[in-house]
Structure 1
Amino acid sequence: MATAGTPAETVNAAMARLAPQVKVDVAQESAIPGFYEAMVGNQLVYVSKDGRFVLDGSVTDVEAGLDLTEVAHAKQRRATLVEIGADKRIVFAPDKPKYTVTVFTDVDCPFCRRFHDRIAEYNALGIAVEYVFMPLDIHPGADVKSEAVWCASDRKAAFTAAMSGADTGKATCANPVAETTRLARRMGINGTPTTLTSDGTRIAPGVAMSPQQLLAELARLEKNPVSAH
């Protein structure tokens, strides 16, 4: 198969033959020799530069001990995180945070509630937690509750109460819930709580749920950030 030219042209030509209904969002050079990488919906695929081969799945650089697919995902998530400004977050932070994480949350998610139960511990360790709403479809009404929390006069107090199971009421106002949910899905996030560093690196749930483990992981990533590769 002849090459189509630019990364976008090559990827679009290949995907048009393979799955004409899908939309290619990003196409660019890959760290894998002879391949481009592309975001197709929430999925990362690799397309050979001659347009013949499409690979779907994680690719690991054995020599470097690096998951190249996660590196690519982190870079894409970082670009989207920029769109979620401070005006779309509920922040619990110490006076002088050492680290900041974004946590996609759902007020009816049991694990999200367990995470927030320890928010004082995260803050005491110097970790600022910036919550972004992502109500899940499996929790009917979570979107209404999220909106009510956002519209409260004291959002942090309302959030903490909601995480304790309190009735949120049904207050409405202009709010970012639908937008942040859409952006989360664009990043391939489909569960809560999902914890991301500022460079888009996803923290393993088992690590994020422990304040001490999260602190250690953030210190490790500070020395060797995934997106730097």
Structure 2
Amino acid sequence: LDTITYKAPDEKYVIGVFTDITCGFCQKLHSDLQSYLDKGITIKFIAYPRAGMNSMIARNMASVWCADDKPAALTRAMKGDGLPEKQPTKACMDSIQSQFNAGNMFKLSGTPSGLSLKGEPMVFAGLRDPEQMLNSLKTANQKK
């Protein structure tokens, strides 16, 4: 999947987070991004337009995923500071479709939702603050 990655300088854990640029809890998670990174949690954002693939949200998310600087474009979109000017290509829409399909395989009930991608498997639904996320990841990795 074509994720948008924010890498922790001292990476201990990697999580994939299904996100939607219009989701308030996703925006909150994104506004706390540096705190997750500081705790050693790398985040790979996966597009999940909750309104479906035929929505303007899906097109807007595709324009973010097609941007030259994807992390900066996602941060701007999450803050409500605008979207890239470039119209999404079919390849970008196909990428969003693949990510959306992956979310549907997990039977997502909302965003943000995600899973650990390094260490022991862990799935989560809903917003977890950086400390809660770190504790959940630590607990999952102690169950070996």
Whether the TM-score (by the shorter chain) exceeds 0.5 is yes
What letter is aligned with 1:192? Answer: T
Structure 1 segment 46-65 matched on structure 2, within 5 A:
none
Aligned residues: 137
Q: Partner of 1:213 in structure 2?
A: 132
Q: Partner of 2:99 in structure 1?
A: 180
Q: Partner of 2:81 in structure 1?
A: 166
TM-score (norm 1): 0.56
Structure 1 segment 195-206 matched on structure 2, within 5 A:
195-198=114-117, 200-205=121-126
CA contact (8 A) 2:121 2:140 kept: no
Q: Partner of 1:153 in structure 2?
A: 68
TM-score (norm 2): 0.87
Match of 2:48 among 119, 124, 134: 134
Q: Which runs of 5+ in 2 are unaligned?
A: none
Q: Greater CA radius of gyration, 1 or 2?
A: 1
Greater RCO (CA < 8 Å, at least 6 residues apart): 2
For each residue in 1:3-33, what CA deviation from the matched residue of structure 2 results, as whole angstroms up to 9, or x when unmatched? xxxxxxxxxxxxxxxxxxxxxxxxxxxxxxx
Q: Partner of 1:108 in structure 2?
A: 22
- Residue 138 of structure 1 deviates from its aligned partner by 7.3
- Residue 209 of structure 1 deviates from its aligned partner by 2.3
Structure 1 segment 27-38 matched on structure 2, within 5 A:
none
- Deviating runs (4+, > 2 A) in structure 1? 198-201
What letter is aligned with 1:95? Answer: P
**Distance (Å, rounded) in 2 between the aligned partners of 1:215 and 1:167:** 31
Higher-strand-fraction structure: 1
Q: Which runs of 5+ in 1 are unaligned?
A: 1-83
Higher-helix-fraction structure: 2
**Distance (Å, rounded) in 2 between the aligned partners of 1:223 and 1:185:** 29
| 1:190–1:204 distance in 2 versus 1, CA, 3 Å | closer
What letter is aligned with 2:124? Answer: I
What is the RMSD computed on CA atoms of the aligned residues? Answer: 1.8
